[in-house]
Structure 1
Amino acid sequence: MNAAMPAPVAVVTGGASGLGREIVRRLHAGGHRVAVADVAAEAATALADELSVRGPDARAYTVDVSERAAVERLLADVLADLGSVEVLVNNAARTQARPLLEITPDELDEVMRVNLNGTFFACQVFGTRMAEAGYGRIVNIASLAGQNGGTATGGHYASSKGAVLSATKVFARELAARGVTVNAISPGPQDSPMVRDLLGDGLDALVAGVPVGRLGSMRFIADMVALLASPDAASVTGACWDANGGLYLR
């Protein structure tokens, strides 16, 4: 990138903790100005403040992605503060371990509104802006559960992530001719607090069933995001990159 040009801007939803935090750190370390977007305002602010003292600008934004108006405000605020947006990472997600046949209508709606609707709205809102600018990189965080029907993280979660994979394809097809790529990453079980909390005593049994014999690395997933978010990734769109330890082969 030309030294005279401002650093590119990356927006990461659900960026204040877990995998989102790793993605924020990776993109920031790679030279992006980063918008940490999350419902957890204090955590987002703490992360943004930490990063800003040792690199490009990082700012926190409070947003509930399940509301399209909130996503529109997020875009407007990022443009007002940072001037552009080149990268969007749709990472915000709601997970709820619940027996499949006991999921209530309200629980289904809550998970779908965040995981599917939030991703769809952001692809619409930010994708429109990127298409107008003639350039953009969108990376959607899907899941192994959306590919193999796993219910350990909730059947409604798995269903929502399967829908994210379909949304990735339709937005990729729509935006390809205007310089915007849209891709997905489907992680398997990661070495994360969320996975450990969800599985509890069942963690050892899960690891034993993973062909490579270990949980995935959130830092590696963040590296995958950075690669798909780079200008050099122009020929990759509508793809899903798997990182599941051999649990799902295709």
Structure 2
Amino acid sequence: MVTGGAHGLGEFIVRRLHNDGYRVAIADLDGAAAATLAKTLDDKGVSARGYGVDVSDRGALDRLKADVLRDFDAVHVLVNNAARTQATPLLEITPEDLDAVMAVNFTGTFTACQLFGAHFARQGYGRIVNLASLAGQNGGTATGGHYASSKGAVLAATKVFARELAPHGVTVNAVSPGPQDSPMVRAIVGEDNIEAFSKNIPVGRLGDPSFIARMVALLASPEAASVTGACWDANGGLHLR
């Protein structure tokens, strides 16, 4: 299951997993787009299905879990990709702004890890991959200080769940992208500034979303059994540790 799977990076992840032979549940606030993508991948609805969900709503996530288990019989991989950005200057972020961003980016991820982590623990196998961000590592505020804070919290939660679920055959990891060649980044930077912006990245270019999808696919695979609690960076050298 991939949250935020109908657009952007989520779509790249969905397509990669589907191409790798996974049956994919595509969950997105835009349920119509999720259904359209699923139909594009498999018009018979056997290996791909779309679901509308607001990940900030625990009840909706619980119902989604039940629906996916009903439709697919089993779930083995959860990718928490759903996110909300809001490029508001730090000192102008309102309490409502903060709550809205944290509810999707952190609380939604944490809750999904709880709900599906419990299922994975019972079945003795599972893979959880959380999408973090360079902003959550270096405190960048271009996408909003509340966004950066929420992604830092995702990294902490990844370690907490990894430690708790490891004895049950469940791995929990994070992928932390830097600026990707995506509509969101191009909108924030501005098309006229892409070339200059890219020169500030040590490798000299924006990231490739398809590479992020490959990283997620590897962490989602049985071959990654010994990797848990890790954060895999893909930031072009902007953050070295």
Q: Partners of 2:98 and 2:167 in 1: how far apart?
A: 35
CA separation of 1:137/1:151 partners in 2, compared to 1, >3 Å: closer, same or farther? same
Query: Partner of 1:3 in structure 2?
Result: none
Structure 2 residue 186 is matched with structure 1 residue 196:
yes
Query: Partner of 1:236 in structure 2?
Result: 227
CA separation of 1:126/1:222 partners in 2, compared to 1, >3 Å: closer, same or farther? same
Structure 2 residue 173 is matched with structure 1 residue 183:
yes
Q: Partners of 2:49 and 2:146 in 1: how far apart?
A: 32
Normalising by structure 2, what TM-score? 0.98
CA separation of 1:14/1:83 partners in 2, compared to 1, >3 Å: closer, same or farther? same
| Aligned ranges 1:207-226 → 2 under 5 Å | 207-226=198-217
Normalising by structure 1, what TM-score? 0.94
Match 2:157 to one of 154, 158, 167: 167
**DSSP 3-state at the match of 1:95:** coil
| Aligned ranges 1:1-250 → 2 under 5 Å | 11-53=1-43, 57-200=47-190, 201-250=192-241
**DSSP 3-state at the match of 1:184:** strand
**DSSP 3-state at the match of 1:211:** coil
**DSSP 3-state at the match of 2:51:** strand
Q: Partners of 2:100 and 2:194 in 1: how far apart?
A: 26
How far 1:110 moved relative to its partner? 0.4
How far 1:55 moved relative to its partner? 9.5
1:36-90: CA deviation from partner (whole Å, max 9, x where unpaired): 0001011111100000149961001111000111111111000001000000000
1:148-204: CA deviation from partner (whole Å, max 9, x where unpaired): 000111110000000000000000000000000000000000000111011114433
> What's the RMSD between the two structures over aligned residues?
1.1
Identical-residue share of aligned pairs (%): 71
Q: Partners of 2:152 and 2:193 in 1: how far apart?
A: 24
**DSSP 3-state at the match of 1:190:** coil
Instruction: Give the residue type in structure 2 aligned to 1:87.
Output: V
Q: Which runs of 5+ in 2 are unaligned?
A: none
Q: Partners of 1:189 and 1:56 in 2: how far apart?
A: 34
Contact 1:98 1:154 in 2 (8 A): yes
